[in-house]
Amino acid sequence: MTIPRTLPGDIELRVSQSPVPYREALEEMTARNAAIATDGARELIWLLEHPPVYTAGTSAASAELLDPRFDVVEAGRGGRYTYHGPGQRVCYVLLDLKKRARDARGFVHALEGWVIDTLRDFGVESFRSEGRIGIWTTDIDGREAKIGAIGVRIRKWVTMHGFAVNIRPDLSHFAGIVPCGIEEFGVTSLARLGHDVDFATWDEALVARAGSFLAALENRCPRPSSHPETA
């Protein structure tokens, strides 16, 4: 399957083949967010990978930065510290919710569902957890562990940031922070769970479910979900 460059609704789909430095991506994403809000620029869903970086949300506590071995960037999103790096697939979602249900909670719920449904396509059952941000699954030791992070910001009803899924990152890199402020649970990946998946295969599965994700934004959230400015 060849991944299209346009998604339903004339949304641009961009797939970066080389790692994009986080600061560079943040600058471009911020500019595109403003252009969508003020000038009606084309919406964007962007799949990419970052060099190793720790990003700090607006609720990040300095005590949760345990070992700043990588660059630390203030992301402008809600939430706390998150790691991005090689082997992790990041999806930035820049959509105008004024064209849809204008429901921030529903947007986050739909993002979560998009990731959960795609992981299921690879035989990984994942889930939301009340009071814990992110996408969770059962790790190889039988304990719950995070496999995906959610973090968004909404400005003038235009979204930015999105989610990151651990495909095959170096999980030791997460040890430099308390991921999302949650100490008692670890992180896992598709590779750790025994699934050999490359980015192209993941992207194809994710894009195949994009239509369902976009359709879900047409209706308000059916039940409570995570606060939108989280990680």
Annotated binding site for substrate: 77-84, 149-151, 162-164
Question: The tokens of 18 are what?
Answer: 């080389």
Q: 105: left (phi > 0), else alpha (psi -120 to 50), else beta?
A: alpha
Question: The tokens of 185 are what?
Answer: 């649970």
Per the CB < 8 A criterion, the answer to whether 126 and 136 are in contact is yes
CA 47/CA 148 separation, integer angstroms: 14
Catalytic residue chosen out of the listed positions 180, 193, 197, 207:
180
DSSP state of 83: E
Residues 6+ apart with CB under 8 A from 7: 13, 45, 207, 210, 211, 214
Q: Tell me, yes or no, if 180 is annotated catalytic.
A: yes
Per the CB < 8 A criterion, the answer to whether 122 and 195 are in contact is yes
Q: How many CB atoms lie within 10 A of CB 18?
A: 6
Distances (CA, A) of 202 to 17, 86, 157, 216: 13, 15, 29, 21
Per the CB < 8 A criterion, the answer to whether 79 and 231 are in contact is yes
CA 221/CA 86 separation, integer angstroms: 33
Question: The tokens of 172 are what?
Answer: 């030791």
Please report, in range form, the residues annotated as the binding site.
77-84, 149-151, 162-164
Instruction: Indicate the SS3 state at residue 108.
Output: helix
Task: Give the residue numbers annotated as catalytic, written as ranges.
Answer: 180
